[in-house]
Each structure stands twice: as structure tokens, then as C-alpha cells.
Amino acid sequence: MEAIHTPRVKVCCISSVEEAWAAIRAGASALGLVSSMPSGPGVISESLIAEIAAVVPPPIATFLLTCGQDVRDIIAQQRRCRTNTVQLCDRLTTGSYADLRGAMPGVSLVQVIHVSGEESLEEALSVAPHVDALLLDSGNQSLAVKELGGTGRVHDWSVSRRIREQARVPVFLAGGLKAENVGEAIQHVGPFGLDLCSGVRTEGKLDEEKLTRFFARVRA
């Protein structure tokens, strides 16, 4: 997959209709809506996810972040929340991507790969043919309390670059991105998209000044 010069930006952990519009005004092409997670920031109720998703205009993507591993649960959750994209933050254990596609026509599937080492490249390449995009993050699925995103940590971008070069689907880069390092991230990885949460927040709230500065660095 070729690198692109100006990545799309997904602003995650959106917690209100007001935050959604602030992110869209700043230039976001996707919004992340976090459902129940074992850990991490930004969790909101499914009813609020549905409320936000209902007012976001096309072509802005609304991502339902789910920790579900059973396709039946994921399908039911998407039907309650009505987002146009599902971000799978953990590995499927019951059912298949084909089951998800059959039950949710028109809904995009994005699989998170928590980048650690060489095994992350192998996992990404095995999953890529079955999804619409990969999202490379810095969580840890092996902890007693899983980290499935929102860690604010940067991972090894050299592995992410190799995934981007070899996977035949768009790749989003996540994990500790902010105005101060996003230029280097784009240059090093060449992702299709960027995904951020803590880097544009102050005391948990979306900070429009940080958003503006981040987008200025992306466009530069």
C-alpha cells in the first residue's frame, strides 16, 4: 500500500455531540466512539454513541470501538449504536470476519493490531485480507487487565512502517501522537491515517487549541 502525503485524521474518545463538531470543524475525517473497555479513557454509553453517530454528516466516518471478541455480540452492539465503522480492539475468538460482513453490509471493519515486535507484522498481514483497514496501536492484550488503546504510548514505528509497506489495506497509526511528534510519525511510517486521543486533550476535555496545532503540523 503506497504512503500518502497528507494522512486522514481520526479523533478518538469523542464524548459529546459538541466534541464531535469541534473535531469535524478542525478537519477530522473520522471520529472514535469508545464503548465499554477493560481499561483506558473515553468510554461512553451506547445510547450516547448512537446519539452522536446519528448527527455526524457523511462522509465523516463514525468508529464504534469495541472490545468484543464474539461476532454475535459485535453485530448486536453495532445495531444498537448505528455507526458506519466498527473498530475491533481485540482479536476475534468466536465467529469470523466473513460473519461480520454478512450481517453488517456497508459497515467498514477496522482491526487494531497492538504493535510489539515481529509477531505484530505476521498478525497484521494475516488479518489484512479480511478487513478494510488496520489500526496500529500501543496496547497490550496479555495483561491481566487488557490495554486495548488510549495508552498515550508510542510504539516501534519501524514495525508499523513495515506493516504499512506490506499490507494491502490502508493503515492508521495510533499511540502517543501529538503536535510535537506527528511530523516525524508521518515521515517515518507514511500512514494512510492518524488516530489520536490524549494528544489533543487537556484534563480529559478536547482542547481546540491543541487540535488546531495538531492539524497545522499534519498539513505542513
Which domain CATH number covers 93? 3.20.20.70
pLDDT single digits (tens) 1-25: 555 579 999 999 999 999 999 999 9
Identify the band that residue 220 occupies on the pLDDT scale cut at 50, 70 and 90: confident
Q: Which residue has the higher pLDDT, 105 or 143?
A: 105
Whether residue 1 lies inside any domain: the answer is no
Q: For residues 82 and 95, what is the distance between their CA atoms, to the nearest angstrom?
A: 21
Strand partners, 65: 34, 87
pLDDT single digits (tens) 39-96: 777 899 999 999 999 999 999 999 999 999 999 999 999 999 999 999 999 999 999 9
Count Cβ atoms below 10 Å from residue 187 Cβ, excluding itself: 10
- Cβ-in-10-Å burial (0-12, 13-18, 19+) of 214 comes to buried
pLDDT attached to residue 175:
87
Phi, psi (deg, nearest 5) at residue 139 = -80, -175
Whether residue 3 lies inside any domain: the answer is no
Question: How many whole angstroms from its chain centre is CA 205?
Answer: 18
Look at the chain and report how many structural domains it folds into.
Answer: 1
pLDDT single digits (tens) 139-157: 656 656 665 665 566 778 8
The parent domain of residue 89 ranges over: 8-219
Q: For residues 42 and 16, what is the distance between their CA atoms, to the nearest angstrom?
A: 10
pTM score of the predicted model = 0.92
